[in-house]
């Protein structure tokens, strides 16, 4: 009895062969699908031969462009350095030539008052040129050596002193040019010059002084003319703004509504408008026509006749 009761309590599971076969088949299908998916992912991740060739060519082109850029940058840097060195050599040669001319003209032995005046003026002019060239040489050298100096000198606080220095040099050159032209006014020229080189140098400097004064005179007249025309235009503009009078649009009798030719907005009866004398239908908003005149336009926006 006890043995039978134990057998009933410990039920032995029944083996189902058909169910195990179905489970095995499902596992095989799942594994095959996983293998297929992995293969598809590998195919997608692996580029085709055409794509591989295009990628290789793009990488090669990118490397070539990088190499070309580096070569261009190096050549550009080298050319900049060479240009700076050549510029410094040119400035140095100019300064050396000026100093040599100062020494040559200063050592000239002359006794006549005519050539003494020439010698004094030429040496004075060359000394001023040597000072300007020295400042230019030092500045160029510092800019070449210390790259940040040019950025500092372009700062706003250096603009006014630079302008004042250039203007002072400009005025001093004008003074020296005028002085050179009249250096021997009232002095009789000798029959035989003691130093022909000094006399020739003086004549060359006087010729450059005359050319410089002519150029300055032309520029000054052009600037004065531009300022005069601008002032005249400003005066006419002010007179026009004072003379034109605005009236309400409702005072006009038109069979149909009209638009302002400037802003293209329809006139309202209570708006202030201006009617020009060139044509009875040339009517504009007061604000539109005043802005038109303030911008420097002194002609009618429609027929281009002078506004009177």
Average pLDDT (122-146) is 83
| Interatomic CA distance for residues 38 and 31, integer angstroms | 11
Considering the domain architecture, whether residues 215 and 277 belong to the same structural domain is answered as no
**Residue 172 forms part of a structural domain:** yes
pLDDT confidence band for 215 (50 / 70 / 90): very high
pLDDT digits (tens, 9 = 90+) for 159-180: 677 778 888 888 888 888 888 8
pTM: 0.54
Average pLDDT (61-86) is 71
**Residue 249 forms part of a structural domain:** yes
pLDDT higher than threshold 90 for residue 222: yes
Considering the domain architecture, whether residues 179 and 259 belong to the same structural domain is answered as no
| Interatomic CA distance for residues 231 and 236, integer angstroms | 9
Average pLDDT (139-155) is 61
Count of the separate structural domains present in the chain:
2
Residue in the block written with tokens 């007179």: 239
pLDDT of 294 reads 81
Domain membership of residue 146 as a residue range: 72-187+195-226
Angle at 25 between CA 24 and CA 30, to 5 degrees: 100
Considering the domain architecture, whether residues 76 and 222 belong to the same structural domain is answered as yes
């Amino acid at each position: 009895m006890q043995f039978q009761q134990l057998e009933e309590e410990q039920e032995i599971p029944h083996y189902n062969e058909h169910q195990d076969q179905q489970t095995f088949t499902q596992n095989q299908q799942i594994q095959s699908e996983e293998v297929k998916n992995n293969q598809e992912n590998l195919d997608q991740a692996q580029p085709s031969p055409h794509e591989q060739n295009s990628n290789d060519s793009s990488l090669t082109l990118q490397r070539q462009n990088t190499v070309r850029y580096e070569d261009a940058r190096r050549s550009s840097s080298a050319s900049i350095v060479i240009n700076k060195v050549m510029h410094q050599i040119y400035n140095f040669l100019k300064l050396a030539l000026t100093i040599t001319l100062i020494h040559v003209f200063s050592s000239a032995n002359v006794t006549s008052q005519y050539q003494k005046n020439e010698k004094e003026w030429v040496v004075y002019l060359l000394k001023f040129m040597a000072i300007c060239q020295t400042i230019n040489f030092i500045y160029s050298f510092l800019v070449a050596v210390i790259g940040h100096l040019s950025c500092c000198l372009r700062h706003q606080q250096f603009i006014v002193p630079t302008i004042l220095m250039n203007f002072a040099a400009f005025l001093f050159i004008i003074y020296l040019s005028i002085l050179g032209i009249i250096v021997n006014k009232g002095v009789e020229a000798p029959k035989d010059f003691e130093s022909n080189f000094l006399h020739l140098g003086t004549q060359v400097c006087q010729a450059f002084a005359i050319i410089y004064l002519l150029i300055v005179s032309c520029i000054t007249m052009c600037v004065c003319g531009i300022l005069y025309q601008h002032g005249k235009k400003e005066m006419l503009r002010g007179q026009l703004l004072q003379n034109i009078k605005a009236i309400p649009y409702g005072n006009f009798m038109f069979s149909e509504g009209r638009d302002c030719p400037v802003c293209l907005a329809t006139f309202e009866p209570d708006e202030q408008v201006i009617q020009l004398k060139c044509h009875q239908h040339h009517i504009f908003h007061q604000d539109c026509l005043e802005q038109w005149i303030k911008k420097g336009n002194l002609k009618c926006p429609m027929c281009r006749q002078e506004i009177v």
